[in-house]
Every structure is written in structure tokens, then in C-alpha cells.
Amino acid sequence: MILFLGTRPGKTEIKQLQNVNCPFCAQSGTLTVSKTSNWFHLFWIKLFRISSNTVAECSHCKRVYFEEEFSEEMLRALS
């Protein structure tokens, strides 16, 4: 019997942060957050989420922020 085990990315959620200033260029409403989750699956059935990857990008200065670099303002807008 062959077991199909593995991980694969789930769908990506995109969220525009309104009223949040980019910590780098100080423009407001330019940050877009995308969240991708990785799932552990067995026979193509999602079992549980093993990790998620959240990044924010500023459309003005093109700076990309990783989750650990998010400002308090950004974290508040996401929660």
C-alpha cells in the first residue's frame, strides 16, 4: 500500500490594510498582506495546518515585511 503523505500550500489570503502607514515610506493604505498556509495532507485530504507564512508588501516603496517585522499598527489591523 502506498501512502500519499506530504505537505502542500493552501490558498493565499490577500488583505489590504486600510489606515495603516508603511513604516518605511509612511504612506497610508499602501500595505497588502498575503497569508499562505501549508497543510499536512494524507491522500489529498487536508489534515492540519503546519505553518503559515504571512508577508506584507507596500505598493508605494515596494518594501516587503515579514511577520516578525510587522509594526504594532499592522498587527492590530490584522487581528
Binding site for Zn ion (CB under 5 A): 22, 24-25, 58, 60-61
SS3 44: coil
- 25/47 with CB nearer Zn ion: 25
- 25/42 with CB nearer Zn ion: 25
Q: How far is the CB of 36 from Zn ion (least distance, A)?
A: 21
Decide the pairing of beta strands 5-17 and 45-58: unpaired
CA distances 29 to 7, 22, 69, Å, are 34, 8, 17
Phi, psi of 27 (to 5 degrees): -80, 150
Q: How far is the CB of 76 from Zn ion (least distance, A)?
A: 18
Q: How far is the CB of 61 from Zn ion (least distance, A)?
A: 3
